[in-house]
Amino acid sequence: MAKPRARGEARFDGGEPLNPEQRDARGRAAESETGRSALRIGVLALQGDFRLHVQALERSGAEAVEVRKSEELADLDGLVIPGGESTTLLRLIDEGDFVHALEKFHAVGKPIFGTCAGLILLAREVQRPAQFSLGLIDAVVERNAYGRQRESFEARGAVALGGRTAPIEMVFIRAPRILSVGPEVETLATHAGDPVMARQGAVLAATFHPELTDDLTVHRYFCDLVRRARARTT
């Protein structure tokens, strides 16, 4: 089983994080290879594991941008909302006037990927306790359903992406549980009979933390969603 990275550990292919010059060089290389600008994917950087998502996206070939202001969403092709503490995330999103900007981002068909607390924010309904959510994926979720921090665990499973099934490492940390999904939601992975990764249109959501392993399967799949969404609008 792949060893998960510690929260906040910033690594890139076994080395140091990319500095701005390296990120620019990576973007130029991607542009040279494709004849188009690299995918520009934001990671909401208000709290949580945003740096690990940045590195996973960069390793997947995207230009990753840390997003701290709602107006920064306008120049992005896609967005990741990382894990963290959901009530804190809600407060910071409200203070930063992100709600309308996120709804607009979704309305124009730009993909959003929420992990753990990010999933809670995207869900149609949140239980135990109830709290505000954006309702961008037709799912009912229960907060901290797998227990406290000490009950965190790893599991090996399979995910169905793009017509094929791939093995995947899943790290659950104070994870929510998806209690139910609507008819337009596709379940991509399960654990112990519960959905743990799902998609509805341009919205992808997972109860686990793909950024805490070296497996890029999920981030590469999200990059592909973003690439196809951008192609439809250009």
Name the residues annotated as catalytic: 116, 209, 211
Handedness of CA 171, 63, 102, 185 (dihedral sign): negative
Residue that has been written with the tokens 């992990």 in this structure: 115
Please report, as a single letter, which amino acid is at residue 55: Q
CA distance 106 to 112: 7
90 DSSP 8-state letter: H
3-state secondary structure of 220: helix
Phi first, then psi, for residue 232 (nearest 5°) are -75, -20
Q: For residue 24, give Cα distances in angstroms to 21, 29, 40, 54, 69.
A: 5, 9, 12, 14, 21
What is the number of other CB atoms lying within 10 angstroms of the CB of residue 23? Answer: 17
CA distance 224 to 219: 9
3-state secondary structure of 151: helix
Alpha helices in the chain (DSSP H): 20-34, 50-59, 86-95, 98-107, 117-122, 217-232
Residue that has been written with the tokens 């509805």 in this structure: 200
